[in-house]
Chains A and B, each alone.
Chain A
Amino acid sequence: MSGGSAEPAPSTDDVLRALAEPQRRRILQVVADGELPAGLIAKHFDITPQAVSQHLRVLKDAGVLRERRDGTRRLYAIRPEALESVRSFLDELWPASLTRLKETVERDRGKQP
């Protein structure tokens, strides 16, 4: 597969901003199974093809999607490294919140008669 190495690593801020829109998240679901051209992605939505193109550009600029040229086609697919950056961010939060959960439960237990 092409892409990836030549492009800069996506910034978590950019990725989260790009994902903060329901239709852009749905575009990711549509291309999750395989790369698609913009025209077919637009068929999944009631919004105009122009609006879909706009969303695709935001997702591409944020590094969430990659665009691949194949003859006259331009195909869009998810860049897994973008999702990885968000996953790493969320993973880092787990230990802190789990510790807090443990402390809360133990404190509450201590209060019981």
Chain B
Amino acid sequence: MSDIYTASIRIAAPPDEVFPYFTDPELLVRWMGDWASLQAKPGGAFDVNITGVPVRGEYLRVDPPHALVFTWGVAGNDLLPPGSSTVEISLHPDGDDTVLELLHRGLPADEVPKHRTGWDHYLPRLVAAAGGDHPGPDPWVQDQ
């Protein structure tokens, strides 16, 4: 099976309003994770804790408001160490909206189902947050 995850979503906001949801820690944690430390420049840290999982990475490309690439791994996880997988985000204006495409590549096959579940959970929250609605607290955090 494939070792990549892909998704295409529509968000009711232009790309320049959506882009900061991947670069501003306060905006990021409104849809994914409970703590984030982000330095949105090539080589800068992309660190976010998601339901207790320390996701660690670095930005490889920051090209507002069109494209964004960062690495993705989990501190202490030998199967998916920091730097071992890559998330590519592209944002295209479409009418008044943004069509966002996400490509997560380099995932070990065993990690694909878990990440599919994760993105399928968090991307609708991004649609709500960046589209001007409040996604509310992450139910996965309450489940902890």
Contacts and interface: CB of A to CB of B under 8 A. Distances in A.
A44 B105 CA distance: 10
A40 B6 contact: yes
B116 A36 contact: no
Contacts of A35: 8
B7 A34 contact: yes
Contacts, number: 43
Interface in A51-83: 70-73, 75
Given A40-B101, A72-B94, A33 B116 contact: yes
B116 to A, nearest CB: 6
Given A33-B116, A34-B7, A36-B8, A73 B94 contact: yes
Contacts of B101: 37, 39-40
B2 A30 contact: yes
20 contacts: A26-B2, A29-B1, A30-B2, A33-B116, A34-B7, A34-B120, A35-B8, A36-B6, A40-B8, A41-B6, A43-B4, A43-B6, A44-B4, A70-B10, A71-B94, A71-B95, A71-B97, A71-B99, A72-B99, A73-B10
Contacts of A37: 8, 101
The size bracket of the interface on A is: 10 to 19
Interface in B87-121: 92, 94-95, 97, 99, 101, 103, 105, 116, 120
Given A71-B94, A71-B99, 8 more contacts: A29-B1, A33-B116, A34-B7, A43-B4, A43-B6, A44-B4, A71-B95, A75-B8
Nearest to B92: A72
B24 to A, nearest CB: 26
